[in-house]
Structure 1
Amino acid sequence: MQKSIRFPATISFVYSLLLLVLILISCKRIEYKVIDDIAISNENEESDWLAYGRTHSETRFSPIDQVKVGNVNKLKVDWYMDLSGDVGLVSTPLVVNGVMYFTGTMNIVRAVNAVTGDLIWKFDPEVGKAIRGKRQAGWIHNRGLSFYKGKVFGATWDGRLFALEAETGRKLWMVETFDPKRPLYITGAPKAFKGKVLIGNGGTEAGPSRGFVIAFDAETGKEAWKFYIVPGDPKKGFENEAMEMAAETWKGEWWKHGGGGNAWHGFTYDPDLDVLYIGTGNGSPWNQKIRSPGGGDNLFLCSIVALNPDTGKYLWHYQTTPGESWDYNSTQDIVLADLTINNEKIKAILHAPKNGFFYVINRANGKLISAKPYVETSWASHIDLNTGRPVEAENIRYEKGPAYITPGANGAHIWQAMSYNPKTGLVYIPALHEGFIYSDHTIDIKKWQSVDFRGGTGVRLYLPENPPGDYPPVKPPKDYPASLIAWDPIKQEEAWSIPQDKFWNGGALTTAGNLVFQGRSDGILLAYNAENGNILWEFDAGLGISAPPITYKIEGKQYISVLVGWGGVYAGVGGKDAYDMGWSYGVHTRRLITFSLEGKAKIPKQPKPFFPKPLSIPSFSVDEDRAAKGAKLYYGYSCSGCHGGSGISGGMAPDLRASLICIDSVAFKSVVKHGIKLDEGMPNYEKLTDEDLLNLRHYIRHIANNSIIAESKTTE
């Protein structure tokens, strides 16, 4: 019988310890950091990108300088990941402990190795199942995730907030943030801070809407607090003193229209002052004559509101656009910076909302320090520094007839992220230059009422070259539709700007390498000299870029990553201009692309820009009466929000003029009524009758035939 050998306990312990050390050395184990508020506040961290704007300050500035002015032209593709099934990609990835997390179409979350791009896990919240029979409109894109103490937080466009175990992608909890039958949606990134997760929502144009933000316990998903942005029906009482105060700035029966204020983006936590700032949305509806007849500031629309992060209690506010009537929300970046102005050190907020003015605000008390227009602003001449209020132009609320107003409803700057570089002292803004003619001359403002999922704005917009009635055509404010602006927040003046030929370009990243990175809607990713705007490097991704780049450093190597996938609202409602980009639905491969100075990956070329042609179907005889009824359904059910006005798709959804499904009654019914494409984001409309479906098909063929006729005249 063979005897077993027994080692003394001390020898066994030493042997086990030595074995453990050898295993750790051989695996090159990563030292996992706990990601809490201290970690997210660390401006000197190089290895990670821990929050939407990198840190709690939301500056999108990285201290990494390995890639710099002198060598950025050597950047090459290091790795890439094809994202089959995705459409619009607008998300900011996170990088935590060597893993990259990002959200794609239909709110699917992926975790990949940040060095190799290998997939670690994928989480599908099954939005298609959630929206069946409940949701009739929404956006299938999302701007990002949040990370806190080992958990990844995301949100779905049907209103759910969820927490995932970062290591495995296992769902830890999921909650509904609003009734899924309400005409609200989520496209913004959650904000994690102090053991809580904050989320807002959009929907001011989708029906009567009263905006709010809501915070949940990060561990359990239990609701912590809720803050309404505008007051409700006074007869039902007010939730707090802030709502009672705000109600004094409203007129009429505003609560029947919701009021708006939806905070769908723009949340910042200030660890220095322990304050939460939220940027609030525009009015529901836009037209104040309907929403609040008799005027008023309509608090807290279009404001930065400071809240106690533990309780949600109101602290102070600054309103950028009192009584707004133009879709000038303030849900854009709220950037924290320490500035020295007139020899005084100020903890400041930097804010460039849609209304075209750049604001520097004392974040300790909400006092306005300075404000100047960074683009053309015909709605107001200037901001009075004594009152903090805009000095408005005449007829700005189109009370005397149509009014041409700049910026337009798309804003001077929307959700595409700006960045701030403390070394250059400049803010880099993806700016837009356009105006619209606003008019309510065909609207009965006394009877107008928004309806759930059909919505409306209470005002009509006209292109400057195609005005209503005898209103004269107007020349656009610039010869180019967009630009990248470098803005000095202390001098309140432009340092440099780069005109751009195309609309709707991506967000900006800036680094200690004296660089600014930005992707454009024409598919080009560029690196600029942060001091003067000189172009130093270009890469053609072969598909429009809407998302902002990020950067991180692992084992001494700097990476720059960006999601490539033309998206956002302009891909739905951009009309002919968006169509002319050539990023047609389903043609080009969406990708996550990562670059480094040592990159050697060979990336397949994308197809050329594609322009779907309307189908000619002589056998389908259009009944114009049916087409007129179909048009009311098409716009009444917000089909134009994804498929485009007059069916001209900008790439978010199929171009219906070129769709064979729209010709086949059975196929059309299976998609529109029965929802066989729910998993791709196409809602089902169960209440539509066969008559409705037929009328819709006649309208689609009507606009297809008109497009064919217009094109033939152009080529003659």
Structure 2
Amino acid sequence: MQFNKQLMPLLLGIALVLPGLTQLQAAAAVDANRLINADQEPGNWLAHGRDYTEQRFSPLTQINKQTVADLGLSWSYGFDSTRGLEATPLVIDGMLYVTGSWNVVYAFDAVTGELKWQFDPQVDRGVVGPKLCCDAVNRGVAAWQGKLYTGTLDGRLIALDAETGKQLWSSQTTDNDQAYSITGAPRIVKGKVMIGNGGAEFGVRGYFSAYDADSGKMLWRFYTVPDDPAKETNPTLIEASKTWSGEWWTLGGGGTAWDSMAYDPDLDLLYVGIGNGSPWNREIRSNGEGDNLFLSSIVAVRPDTGEYVWHYQTTPGEEWDYTATQHMILADLEVKGKLRKVLMQAPKNGLFYVLDRATGEFISAENYVAVNWTDGVDPTTGRPNIKPEARYSTAGKPFLAQPSPFGGHNWQPMSFNPDTGLVYLPTREMAFPYIPDDNYEVKSLTVNLGVSLLAATMPEDPAVRKAIKAATKGRLVAWDPVAQKEAWGIDMPVPWNGGTLSTAGGLVFQGNGQGNLVAYDAANGKPLWSYHGQTGMVAPPISYRVNGEQYVAIMAGWGGAVPLVVGPLVSEALTTNTNRLLVFKLGGKATLPELKVTAKALNPPSANASAETVAEGKAIYHTYCSSCHGDGAVSGGVLPDLRYASQHTFDYWEAIVVNGLKQGNGMAAFGSVISVDQADAVKAYVIKRAHDELTAQQATQ
């Protein structure tokens, strides 16, 4: 058989128009070369932060300051779940992959929105629900050589066939007898899947691990907190144990790596953000002593072996839930006339850090929100000067701290535009009273913090609540990391808003708690375009291109920590429980169904319980219930507001709370920790709060 030379020009043409014929044969055919050279295919969004730098900067320019006014909805997809949506979609060769609530994975045609497949890992919601501090969320998948990888709320790492959604392997990465969970997106480095976990509030020991991408076999594990010194064998952790005191290992210690990672292929360093202490109270955790490594640190390791290289601790002796798990960005910046390879992070503690990413050397740090726990960072040592009164566990009195445990910046990703040199950062101003729990004891089915949530609950006086709310706000900040100062900023009434996307078109995109996706001028913050998505948004947008057309996509669904815990502070948020994937393009003409919101009826049963019973119910509620149903029984719109519960709910209260009638919705059975009488006391407290609201509404009318 002879080769037909006349076909050669045709074959060459196909190769030029559709580069990489092997990519046409396999979905998600991502490898190291594609990830390292992601800028050569700017139409794809190959990894969590688009590429290894995690800059979340799209080089696409079709949608720009001049054309963005013509941006319209191209297609949307509605999800069944009403829990939070936090995922970053991946777009690879015309396919869009994303996770929804409860770890369901979806694959769509990125142009038409056609659902190709979905995979439900069947998380046991009744078992997992009480182990989650911050909603049934997930931040996305990773892709590698035809496979997708996702972490689940019950601690599994799962590999899927990207073409079909079929499960290829599953590895249990956590001990199911402990309150571990996974909400972060995996990262892939050199054929290894990197994954951490959460659960520090519940009393676990943190770690992150590497798994073989083909087989699911664990290759190495890095513990972030040392074990009992009598048992510890790792030289790095033996050294770290010198920064601890007491018997911290009996309480877990914390230090979970629940979100951010980044990788520098030139330096061959994997950077991992480490979380808070467990319990928060350092007096309980470590006799009030020591830096407690590697809590609230950035740790650099070798991805092949997990070998420790360097660390930088943002909050020594952390006891405010000031995690360093927030988004990290790698960039090359000119600092004092010298080009530096830097790592940038704005952790919860309110300081924006610039570090040398090769050595961990401290370069600079300044506060990006109001901060009162420190009066600055020593420029020589890089250590914050922590005020004595901030050490509430040993100072002998409560401390009203800024930022709060929700952070000046939380998990919502920031982005960096190399053209403007600015980082676009979602922030919040919020305070919190740290009051030691004098009656601390480890409890199951609840958080174990060492601070009193009952004493820290918001006052029930409406006027006081209004004043607290007025002092709480969100803000989008454009931060100059070289000058370490704000270039511009925009105040927002809701303190819980979405991550950002910056583009070569001179734009910054952000969804917000009021339900709007907004495009701002990256140079000055001027709003140029807005779309009402019918629900509060907390996820970060992405941008991609298929067949020469640029798109912007965002997961629109209200949820996360602040809406669950402090409902009174997010009353301006749009809380419709309408969850969608929204995709936009220039000239898009699609529309959303009309939003129909039914007013909630407030018709509580008679309030006949004694003041003593109500007080008992309040204490139990703020031990077991407030982390999901809100401070003072005021919901933030993710889960039901119990004050508005139906008569049916009150009639079946014992069956729901004690026996787990609604475990399928994530509402666990609490019969192992509270009695029927105690459940009735909680009901009495909720009914009392319903009558408080009814009285307030009548007074307003």
Which TM-score applies when normalising by structure 2?
Answer: 0.91
Equivalents in 2 of 1:99, 1:673: separation in Å?
A: 45
Matched, 1:705 2:691: yes
- In structure 2, what is the Cα distance between the partners aligned to 1:529 and 1:243? 47
Deviation at 1:692, TM superposition (A): 4.7
Tell me the secondary structure at the aligned position of residue 255 of structure 1: helix
- The offset of 1:80, in angstroms, is 1.0
Aligned partners of 1:485 and 1:494 also within 8 Å: yes
User: Which residue is equivalent to 1:489?
Assistant: 481
Q: How does 1:149-298 map to 2 (within 5 A)?
A: 149-206=145-202, 208-235=203-230, 237-298=231-292
Tell me which residue corresponds to 1:333.
Answer: 327
8 Å Cα contact 1:265-1:332 kept in structure 2: yes
Tell me what 2:55 maps to: 59
Aligned match for 2:32, one of 12, 25, 37: 37
CA pair 475-368 structure 1, distance change in 2 beyond 3 A? farther
- Pick one of 568, 575, 582 that aligns with 1:593: 582
Q: Which amino acid aligns with 1:198?
A: M
CA displacement at 1:465 relative to structure 2: 12
Larger Rg: 1
Q: Does the C-alpha gap of structure 1 residues 48 and 239 become closer, same or farther in structure 2, counting only changes over 3 Å?
A: farther
Equivalent runs, 1:503-514 vs 2, <5 Å? 503-514=495-506
The 8 Å contact of residues 355 and 363 in structure 2, kept in 1 or not, is answered as yes
In 2: Cα distance, 1:186 partner to 1:465 partner: 28
Task: Using the TM superposition, give the Cα deviation of residue 646 of structure 1 relative to its aligned residue in structure 2, in angstroms.
Answer: 2.6
SS of the residue 2:519 aligns to? strand
Asked if the contact 2:604/2:645 (under 8 Å) is kept, the reply is: no
Matches within 5 A, 1:265-414: 265-398=259-392, 399-414=395-410
Equivalent residues of 1:433, 1:477 under 8 A apart: no
Partner of 1:560: 552
Q: Say whether residues 1:681 and 2:676 are aligned partners.
A: no
Shift of 1:644: 1.3
Counterpart residue number, 2:110? 114
Q: What amino acid does structure 2 have at the position aligned with 1:222? A: K
In the alignment, structure 1 residue 145 sits paired with structure 2 residue 141: yes
Q: SS of the residue aligned with 1:395?
A: helix
Q: 1:143 to 1:646 in 2, by over 3 A?
A: same
- Residue 527 of structure 1 corresponds to 519
Partner residue, 2:443: 451
Q: CA deviation at 1:214?
A: 1.7
Q: Which amino acid aligns with 2:627?
A: G
- Report the alpha carbon displacement of residue 390 of structure 1 after superposing the two structures with TM: 0.6
Q: How does 1:8-19 map to 2 (within 5 A)?
A: none
Any conservation in 1 of the 2:654–2:680 contact (CA below 8 Å)? no
Residues 125 and 477 (structure 1), Cα distance of their counterparts in 2 relative to 1, 3 Å cut: closer
State how far apart, in whole Å, the 2-side matches of 1:215 and 1:505 are: 32
Q: Contact 1:136–1:685 (CA<8 Å) still a contact in 2?
A: no
- Counterpart-to-counterpart distance in 1, 2:21 and 2:200: 45
Map 1:557-706 to 2 at 5 A: 557-583=549-575, 587-608=576-597, 612-618=600-606, 621-622=608-609, 624-636=611-623, 638-660=624-646, 663-665=649-651, 667-685=652-670, 687=672, 690-706=676-692
Query: Which whole-Å CA distance do the structure 2 matches of 1:543 and 1:126 have between them?
Result: 26
Q: Secondary structure at the match of 1:706?
A: helix
1:615 positional shift? 2.3
Deviation readout 1:343-385 (Å, 9 max, x if unpaired): 2221110111111111110010100111111111111111111
The structural deviation recorded for 1:273 is 0.8
Change (3 A) 1:179 1:571: same
Does the residue aligned with 1:592 lie in a helix, a strand or coil? strand
Q: Which residue of 2 aligns with 1:515?
A: 507
Q: In 2, distance between residues paired with 1:451 and 1:226?
A: 28
Separation in 1, partners of 2:73, 2:512: 18
Q: Percent identity?
A: 42
- Of stretches 324-333 and 700-709 in structure 1, the one that deviates more from structure 2 is 700-709
Q: Could you say what secondary structure the match of 1:84 adopts?
A: coil
Matched position secondary structure for 1:188: coil
Whether 1:544 aligns to 2:532 is no
Indicate conservation of the 8 Å contact 1:135/1:183, yes or no.
Answer: no
Is the contact between residue 417 and residue 502 of structure 2 (CA under 8 Å) also seen in structure 1?
yes
Q: Is the 8 A contact 1:356 1:374 kept in 2?
A: yes
Q: Is the 8 A contact 1:88 1:652 kept in 2?
A: yes
Q: Structure 2 regions of 5+ residues with no counterpart?
A: 24-28
SS of aligned partner of 1:248 = helix
- Which amino acid in structure 2 is aligned with residue 634 of structure 1? Y
Instruction: Indicate the SS of the match to 1:699.
Output: helix
Matched residues in 1 for 2:434 and 2:690: separation? Answer: 28
Give CA-to-partner distance per residue, 1:560-597, whole Å, 9 cap, x none. Answer: 001111111112112222345351xxx44211111111
* More off after superposition, 428-437 vs 574-583: 574-583
**Richer in helix (by share):** 2
1:678 and 1:103, CA in 2 relative to 1: closer, same or farther beyond 3 A?
Answer: farther
Shift of 1:629: 4.4
Whether the 8 Å contact between 1:183 and 1:452 is mirrored in structure 2 is: no
Measure, in 2, the Cα distance between the counterparts of 1:686 and 1:217.
41
TM-aligned CA deviation for residue 516 of structure 1: 0.4
User: Which stretch of structure 1 is more off in the superposition, 547-556 or 452-461?
Assistant: 452-461
Instruction: Report the 3-state secondary structure (helix = DSSP H, G, I; strand = E; otherwise coil) of the residue aligned with 1:432.
Output: strand
TM, length-normalised to structure 1:
0.89
Aligned residue for 1:391, secondary structure, equals strand
CA distance in 2, matches of 1:649, 1:89: 18
Cα distance, 1:234 vs structure 2: 1.4
Q: Distance in 1 between matches of 2:70 and 2:129?
A: 48
Evaluate the alpha carbon distance shift between residue 686 and residue 396 of structure 1 in structure 2; reply closer, same or farther with a 3 A threshold: closer
Change (3 A) 1:660 1:294: closer
- The residue identity in structure 2 corresponding to 1:407 is P
Change beyond 3 A, Cα 1:32–1:46: farther
- The whole-number CA distance in structure 2 between the counterparts of 1:639 and 1:90 is 23
Q: Could you say if the C-alpha distance between residues 559 and 272 of structure 1 is closer, same or farther in structure 2, counting changes exceeding 3 Å?
A: same
The superposition leaves residues 623-678 of structure 1 with CA deviations (integer Å, 9 ceiling, x where unpaired) of 55554444444333x3222211232111221112212266454x445544554544
Q: Deviations over 1:65-85 (max 9, x none)?
A: 111111111101111111123
Q: Deviations over 1:287-317 (max 9, x none)?
A: 1111111411110010000111111111110
| Rounded Cα–Cα distance in structure 2 between residues aligned with 1:227 and 1:287 | 24
Structure 1 CA distance, aligned partners of 2:467 and 2:320? 19
Instruction: Quote the offset at 1:449 in angstroms.
Output: 3.1
**Alpha-carbon deviations, 1:230-286, whole Å to 9, x = none?**
112112x21411110110001122222221111111111211211111100111111
On the 8 A contact 1:420/1:428 being kept in 2, the answer is yes
Question: Residue 234 of structure 1 aligns to a residue in which SS?
Answer: coil
Letter in 1 for 2:428: L
Q: Is the alpha carbon distance of 1:403 and 1:628 closer, same or farther for their aligned partners in structure 2, counting shifts above 3 Å? A: closer
Q: Are the structure 2 counterparts of residues 385 and 710 from structure 1 closer, same or farther at C-alpha, using a change threshold of 3 Å?
A: same
Secondary structure of the residue aligned to 1:136 is helix
1:702 counterpart SS class: helix
Are residues 653 and 601 of structure 1, via their aligned partners in 2, closer, same or farther at CA, if it must alter by over 3 Å? Answer: same
Report deviation, 1:693: 4.2
